[in-house]
Copies of this chain bind each other. A is one copy, B any other.
Amino acid sequence: MTTQALLEQIHKKKSFLCIGLDTDLEKIPTYLLSEEDPMFAFNKEIIDATHHFAVAYKINTAFYEAQGRKGWKALNKTIEYLNAEYPEIFTIADAKRGDIGNTSAMYAKAFLQEMAFDSVTVAPYMGKDSVEPFLAIRDKHTILLALTSNEGAFDFQTLKTDGVELYKKVIETSKTWENSERLMYVVGATKAEHLAEIRKLIPDSFLLVPGVGAQGGSLEDVCKYGMGKNVGLLVNSSRGIIYASETSNFAEIAAAKAEVMQREMAAQLSKLHQ
């Protein structure tokens, strides 16, 4: 999917909401556990109920890998379902991969070609040749970790190198890589005050912003500091939406939560055109 197509969807739905499918067998309604594939059954209900309010779904691969072969199957079925039923939706494999070149090429093949996600999250520690194999794939996007939402972000990402924080160095350096126009960046909502400076470095890039909701970030601050002329934001919520209820009408309640966020986003988008 092109960023232009993503942007059109954002304006149409008046939303830049990404819903994170951190699907955990210990948290989904217990009655679903008797289904043949409980993870997929849960995802399908969530997607069908919430897709009017979201422009993207982010599948957190860890939750599926933790369930072994069955989990991997559920992950596959979920992305196949999204691509078949809602091809206009932007899909993210939140996999945080990255390795030497020939290995990264294998991960790129797995997520962007075989499973046909629109994008995959990648860790920058191993540098250029660990990221470029992902960037090589046309009409796909590589979402590079810049400044993450967790406390550990302060261990290394904010250390100064040559007077510049490492996460800024990562962003600056990544702009020199081949096909860098296919890059997006992860910036945590809990670090909203850093967004203004990040926008100076990458005025037009899309940012995937986790950490609103369960992790304590504020949507208003994210928009205030992070919204670009062409929106440039995908704000993710996982637990706050998908686990809003454990009852049989969990999907309906998730949709209500998603709609609340979509309305806040619509209000923020309307400011953009004032």
Binding site for B on A (CB under 8 A): 22, 24, 60, 62-63, 65-69, 72-73, 76, 94, 96-104, 106-107, 109-111, 114-115, 123-131, 145, 148-157, 159-162, 166, 169-170, 173, 215
CB distance from A57 to the nearest CB of B (A): 16
Most buried by B among A103, A125, A130, A150: A125
Q: Which residue of B lies closest to A159 (CB)?
A: B161
Given A66-B107, A152-B130, A169-B159, residue A98 in contact with residue B123 (CB < 8 A): yes
Q: Are B126 and A148 in contact (CB under 8 A)?
A: yes
Give A120 Cβ to nearest chain B Cβ, in Å: 11
A126 to B170, CA, bound (A): 13
Q: Distance (Å) between the CB of A131 and the closest chain B CB?
A: 8
Check if A156 sits within 8 Å of B129, measured CB to CB: no
A62 to B102, CA, bound (A): 10
Chain B residues with CB under 8 Å of A162's CB are 159-160
Q: In the bound complex, do residue A151 and residue B124 qualify as a contact, i.e. CB atoms below 8 Å apart?
A: no
Give 4 closest A-B pairs by Cβ, nearest first.
Answer: A127-B152, A127-B155, A62-B106, A159-B161
